[in-house]
A = this chain, B = another copy of it.
Amino acid sequence: MQARRPTIDDVARHSGVGRTTVSRVLNDGPNVRPEVRDRVWASVRSLNYSVNPQARSLASGSSGLIALVFASDFDAQPNSFYASALELGALRECLVQGRHLLTHHVPQHSPDWKRQVLELIRTQRCQGVVLTPPFSDDPDLVKAATAQCAVALISPSPSTRGLADGVGVDDEAGGYDVARHLLGLGHRNLAYITGLESHLSAARRLEGLRRAVKSQGLDPASVRVLGGDFTFRSGVEHTRRLLGERSPPTAIICANDDTAAGALSVAHGLHLSVPDELSITGFDDTPMSEIVWPPLTTVHQPLKDMAGAAVSAIARRLAGEEDGPRFETLPHRVIARESSGPPGAP
């Protein structure tokens, strides 16, 4: 498509220095006189030179690649807002770190998903991998990945926190906080639609919820818990079931915004007024929570920052600046919107 591109040797010749010196300049290395440095940069500009990343990777023995792995089928719609937010955050930090991001979606229901993740790392020579839930909760996978490259986990459960660096919010506290919010509004009859069983951070939210209920002097066992899977559909199904019960809950806490949107949709279908007849809350504060009607009360998670922090943890580790696995807790907060209100209001 075009003429031969200039190489480092062209730059060296053009600026009258050795190839090694050019390399030093390009990599901000030491021991180059300022005037030489300037001369080299001038040649780079005048030749419109840019380093060949492939050659650099080969020579330096490091690919610069960081994989971001999602558990989602190619054919199903992934939890787009969640995934996009993480991807954007990771992308931005990779730019800063001069690394490349390799986004990958692994069908979580395929029998060999672990192998697929590990193969990706192996064949692409990834130097780091960011695992998202529920992959970040799987000790086997995390251990195997750690043997191959630097690993950072998004919202890992306690079972994997000791195995690799991680970032996330305090899920238990998040669950506690939404529950307190609802209890404070006067709700006494709560239900929780969980995420996938394998996704332990959704389970931690439940623990927090129970703690809040107990702190109110209520029986934690009175909270109905239904096993969802983070999808809109599971919100629909479980909400239908809940509202068909003899004494339906006055508030449904959902493990994420998608599920809450499903719950909301059922309420609309039954002509229930939200929040007057039913309060519904989500989790994550994805844009979806402002798109549905009424806007969702939810727990904000700084997803982009989390992904960025994961990438920079990997970068630090590759630079040898870390010792033991470290978990970084980012702040969450309850965002009260219109989907929650006092129970039994007119």
- Tell me the A residues contacting B by CB distance below 8 Å: 1-2, 50-55, 57-58, 63, 74, 77-78, 80-81, 83-85, 87-88, 91-92, 100-105, 122-125, 147-150, 232, 258, 261-262, 264-265, 268-269, 287-288, 290-294
- Docked-complex contact A88 and B105, CB < 8 angstroms: yes
- Docked-complex contact B74 and A91, CB < 8 angstroms: yes
- Docked-complex contact A53 and B124, CB < 8 angstroms: yes
- For A147, what are the chain B residues with a Cβ–Cβ distance below 8 Å? 1-2
- Docked-complex contact B122 and A103, CB < 8 angstroms: no
Q: Beyond A55-B58, A232-B290, A292-B292, is A92–B80 a contact (Cβ under 8 Å)?
A: no
Give the contacting residue for A52; candidates B2, B58, B291; CB below 8 A.
Answer: B58
- For A84, what are the chain B residues with a Cβ–Cβ distance below 8 Å? 77-78, 80, 83-84
User: Bound state CA distance, A268 and B268, in angstroms?
Assistant: 11
- Closest residue on chain B to residue A269 by CB atoms: B293
- For A88, what are the chain B residues with a Cβ–Cβ distance below 8 Å? 74, 78, 105
- The list of the 4 closest CB pairs from A to B, nearest first, reads A54-B57, A80-B84, A268-B293, A80-B80
Quick one: copies of this chain in the complex?
A: 2
Could you tell me the distance in whole angstroms from the C-beta of A45 to the nearest C-beta in chain B? 13
- For A258, what are the chain B residues with a Cβ–Cβ distance below 8 Å? 291
Give the contacting residue for A103; candidates B85, B101, B150, B290; CB below 8 A.
Answer: B101
Give the contacting residue for A100; candidates B1, B2, B102, B261; CB below 8 A.
Answer: B102
Could you tell me the distance in whole angstroms from the C-beta of A127 to the nearest C-beta in chain B? 9
Q: Beyond A149-B1, A264-B293, is A91–B103 a contact (Cβ under 8 Å)?
A: yes
Q: List 10 A-B contacts (CB under 8 A).
A: A2-B147, A53-B125, A55-B58, A74-B88, A77-B84, A80-B81, A83-B84, A91-B104, A288-B288, A292-B292
- For A53, what are the chain B residues with a Cβ–Cβ distance below 8 Å? 63, 123-125
User: Bound state CA distance, A57 and B83, in angstroms?
Assistant: 29
- Docked-complex contact A50 and B265, CB < 8 angstroms: no
Q: Beyond A147-B2, A149-B1, is A87–B103 a contact (Cβ under 8 Å)?
A: yes
